[in-house]
Structure 1
C-alpha cells in the first residue's frame, strides 16, 4: 500500500471539516496545527470517531483544543509527582541495599533473587556509565577509584525502569521490608506500582497522550479500595497516591491541583474518557 502524501495545513483543515469537525476560526486552527502536528491532534478526536472515519455531530475544534491543553497540563503536573517519587526511591533503595550488602554489593549476583539476570543488569550499568562518561562524577570515579562506583552514586544514572528492575530483583526478604517500611503494603503491590509508574513516566517524558489512553498495565488496587480499574488515567493517578509518602502534601496540594484542573476544563472534557469515577476525590484523598 502506498503511503499518503504530505498535506498542507490548509488541506488538513479541510480534511477535518469534511470529516465533521466544526471549525469556526480557521486561522486559530491553522496556527495550532502548525505547532503540534496534525497526527498528534487527531488522536484527541478518537472518542468521537465513527467507523467511516467521520466524527459524531457537534464536535467543535475549540473543545478538542481544550482537551489537548488539559492533557498537556495534567501531564506536567503528574511528571512532577513522578519525579518526587523517583528521587525518593533512588535514595531509599540505595540506602537499604548499600547498608546491607556494601557499597558495591549490587555487583554480586548472590545479593539478588533467583530470577535476577545479572548479565543483563551489569550491561545496563555499563551502558549507564558509558552514556555519562563525560560527567565529572564518572571521570572522578574512573580516575580515583579504578572505575568502581558505590551504589549511591551509580543509582543516580538509573532510569525509572532500572529502579523498578532493581527492586523487582531484590531478595524476597528485602522486597518485603521496603514495601512494609515505605508503603505499609505487600511487595507484590509495589512491584505492580513500579511497573506502572515506569510506563507513566515515559509517556509524560515524551509528551505522549494521556487523555482517552488505555494503559497496557493496570496497577494492583488494595482490597480495601472499592474501585475497579478501567485502564484509564485515573488508575495511574491512584497508583501515584499509593507511592507518595507525604500524605499531607498529597491532600493539601496535589489533590487540590487535580481538582482545580478538572474544574477549569470540566465543560470540555469527559471524566469517563480518563476513567474518573463520580467519587474520584474521595478515592484520591489519603488518610493520615
Structure 2
C-alpha cells in the first residue's frame, strides 16, 4: 500500500504592506516604505528576496544586522547591469564559434556535410541537433536568407547559413559532438598562443551556455553556483579559484576572445561597474583579490 505524502499548504498571497512588514519582522531596515513599495510593484517580492538570501543569518530567518532594503536593491541593480555587460562576451564568443565550426565542417565535409551523422561522434546527439536546427529554421522562416534557400535551393542550407540560426546552446552541443580530430584542430588553429585544449573549450562553451540562459531569463548571477564544474587551464589551476561562480567563466573567456582591444575595453567597463556599486561583495561571484590583474595578464 502506497503511503500518502502529506501536502503542505501553499503560502497565501500578501499585500505590499504585508511584504514590507515581513522584512521588518526579520530585522531588515526599511529606509522609506513608500519607495520600497514602489520597487516591489516593479520587482515582485519573490525575485527581490532571492537577493536578500545572502544577508540571512546562519540558522535564522532574520537578516544580518545592518541589512537595509536599499542595500539589497543595489545588489539587484548591480546584477542587472552585470548581466547586460556579460552578454557582450557571450555574443562575441557565440559568433566566433559559429564561424570556426562552420568553416571546419564545410572544408572537411562539404556544404551539407553537417547533415551526415557519420561526420560526428554520437549519432543520437547529431539527430537531436538536426531536430533543434530544423525548429530554429522554422521559427525564423521569414529571414531573408532562409527564404532565399527555401525558394532557390529546395530548402537546403549550407552549413555557414544553417548555423546562423543556432543558439550558443546548440553550438556547445555541436562542438561537443565533433570528432576529436576536428575539435583539436579548432582549438589548435584558433587559440594556439593560449594553449587552449579541446576539453577546456568544450567545458567553457557549456559553462557559457548556462550563464547565458540565466542572463536571457533575467535570473540572478550574484551568489549563484553553477551546477557543473568549471575547468581552468593548467596554469590557472594553480590559482585555486572557485569552480562554480561567474568569475570562472569570465576568466576563461579571455582565452577565447581574440580581439585584445575589445577585451581590454570590456574589463575596463567591468571595473567601472564594480566601482559604481561599492556595497556589493564580489567574492560572492567568485572574484578573488587582484582579479583585475588576472583578467588583463596574458
The TM-score normalised by the length of structure 1 is 0.94
Contact (CA 8 Å) 1:255, 1:284: kept in 2 or not? yes
Tell me what 2:296 maps to: 285
Alignment of 1:61-210 (within 5 A): 61-114=69-122, 117-184=125-192, 185-210=196-221
Give the number of aligned pairs.
Answer: 285
Structure 1 residue ranges without an equivalent (≥5)? none
Contact (CA 8 Å) 1:218, 1:229: kept in 2 or not? no
Over residues 58-84 of structure 1, what are the superposed CA-to-partner deviations in whole Å (9 max), with x where a residue is unaligned? Answer: 101111111111111111100122111
Q: Could you tell me how far 1:44 is from its partner in structure 2?
A: 0.7
* Aligned counterparts of 2:144 and 2:246: Cα–Cα separation in 1: 39
1:29 aligns with 2:52: no
Tell me what 2:245 maps to: 232
* Aligned counterparts of 2:26 and 2:123: Cα–Cα separation in 1: 52
Over residues 263-282 of structure 1, what are the superposed CA-to-partner deviations in whole Å (9 max), with x where a residue is unaligned? Answer: 1112x111221111112111
RMSD of aligned residue pairs (Cα, Å):
1.5
The TM-score normalised by the length of structure 2 is 0.91
Q: Could you tell me how far 1:210 is from its partner in structure 2?
A: 0.4
Structure 2 residue ranges without an equivalent (≥5)? 1-7
Contact (CA 8 Å) 2:75, 2:280: kept in 1 or not? yes
* Aligned counterparts of 1:119 and 1:270: Cα–Cα separation in 2: 44
